């Protein structure tokens, strides 16, 4: 079955979902971030930039699993909004700049404005500035210009990679970049001594639990080989008007088991610093990775502690009856991926 035909079929479904959501969705990134901080009680220092939106997400396309639907702000207001939100964070050392897409996307945040914000943060006393970007927006010439004003040790970049397999990236996630582009971005960042954390998605739509674990392990292995200083494993959550929500309602998707998260961490923790995300997707999800009601909260607490300490022993004492259900899920067999996708989309 032709990959492009399958991807186009899924894209039409996602476009329709986004049309449904646009009339109901609050796209104010600053408000979304502040609401998330309050509800999840995040201790991170975060500014959500109201940008015009992810350039890759225009025309109702973009990443299939993304909960952002469009931009909110305008370029001529963004810097003032940045300064206003920054007032609450005087005296802090580390700050996260979130946008609707990629900080280094020049259509979303022009290069001059990127530099202006970063220089202001350095001048304000911040020691570490964390931004996120797709790898196809890492240009060596732009970074060289940026580093004339901002020393590399101030920056930490969350670099999208998501998954190793290009077919899964294209058809299940619609990421619009290749493994080669991630590799090239990693090369440029390493060359310029910029710390970067690679983001890996756990359980893209349409994958079985066993496939998802194997793909995550392969992806993490590749990221460390390419010099990633850290990996963030992101168990996929359920957000409104996304492909995973559509499939869940049809009975074809379950968020990842926390047993899968633990299994992956056990296998990769010695390769390099690995943390687990997924609790604070923006906008806030209605369902995150879980086991049963008896053990999920305590395992999430252990994951939070592991992120801080990297102590794998934290997971040694966990046991629950639901582990048998997880093992059954691991043994689920299915038909070839592209055929499976068409069956799921058609409701079979």
* Residue 28 confidence class, pLDDT cut points 50, 70, 90: confident
Stretch 127-140: mean pLDDT, rounded?
A: 97
Model pLDDT, residue 53: 87
pLDDT over 70 at 24, yes or no: no
pTM, 2 dp: 0.94
* Cα 10 from Cα 86, distance rounded (Å): 40
pLDDT over 70 at 23, yes or no: no
Stretch 24-44: mean pLDDT, rounded?
A: 72
Give per-residue pLDDT as tens, 58-80.
878 899 999 887 777 778 889 99
Q: Do 3 and 339 contact (CB within 8 A), yes or no?
A: no
Give per-residue pLDDT as tens, 278-330.
766 667 889 999 999 999 999 999 999 999 999 999 999 999 999 999 999 99
Pick the closest to residue 116 from 161, 88, 159, 86 (CA basis): 86
Q: Which CATH class is domain 3-345?
A: alpha beta
Give per-residue pLDDT as tens, 152-195.
999 999 999 999 999 999 999 999 999 999 999 999 999 999 99
Give per-residue pLDDT as tens, 230-246.
999 999 999 999 999 99
Q: What's the burial of 44, exposed, middle or buried (CB within 10 Å: 0-12/13-18/19+)?
A: middle
Out of 1-10, 200-209, 228-237, 259-268, pick the least confident. Answer: 1-10
Model pLDDT, residue 133: 97
CA dihedral for 248, 251, 253, 256, sign (positive or negative): positive
Query: At which residue do the structure tokens 């700049």 appear?
Result: 97
Q: Do 177 and 170 contact (CB within 8 A), yes or no?
A: no
């Amino acid at each position: 079955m032709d990959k492009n035909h399958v991807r186009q079929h899924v894209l039409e479904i996602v476009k329709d979902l986004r049309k449904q959501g646009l009339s109901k969705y609050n796209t104010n990134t600053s408000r979304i971030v502040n609401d998330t901080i309050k509800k999840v009680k995040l201790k991170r220092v975060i500014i959500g930039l109201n940008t015009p939106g992810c350039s890759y997400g225009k025309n109702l396309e973009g990443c299939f699993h993304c909960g952002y639907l469009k931009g909110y702000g305008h370029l001529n207001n963004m810097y003032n909004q940045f300064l206003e939100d920054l007032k609450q964070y005087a005296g802090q050392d580390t700050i996260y700049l979130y946008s609707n897409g990629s900080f280094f996307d020049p259509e979303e945040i022009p290069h001059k404005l990127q530099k202006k914000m970063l220089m202001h943060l350095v001048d304000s006393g911040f020691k570490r500035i964390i931004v996120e970007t797709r790898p196809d927006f890492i240009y060596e010439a732009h970074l060289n210009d940026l580093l004339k004003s901002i020393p590399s040790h101030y920056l930490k970049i969350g670099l999208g990679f998501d998954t190793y397999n290009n077919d899964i990236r294209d058809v299940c996630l619609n990421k619009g970049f290749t493994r080669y582009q991630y590799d090239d971005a990693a090369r440029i960042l390493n060359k310029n001594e910029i710390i970067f954390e690679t983001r890996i998605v756990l359980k893209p739509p349409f994958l079985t639990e066993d496939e998802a674990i194997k793909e995550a392990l392969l992806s993490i292995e590749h990221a460390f080989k390419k010099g990633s200083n850290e990996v963030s494993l992101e168990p996929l959550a359920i957000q409104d008007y996304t492909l995973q929500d559509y499939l869940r309602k049809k009975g074809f998707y379950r968020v990842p088991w926390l047993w899968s998260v633990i299994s992956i961490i056990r296998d990769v923790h010695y390769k390099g610093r690995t943390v687990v995300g997924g609790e604070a997707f923006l906008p806030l999800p209605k369902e995150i990775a879980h086991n049963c009601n008896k053990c999920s909260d305590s395992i999430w607490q252990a994951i939070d502690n592991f992120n801080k300490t990297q102590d794998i022993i934290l997971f040694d004492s966990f046991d629950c009856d639901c582990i048998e259900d997880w093992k059954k899920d691991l043994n689920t067999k299915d038909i070839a991926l592209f055929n499976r996708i068409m069956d799921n989309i058609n409701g079979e």
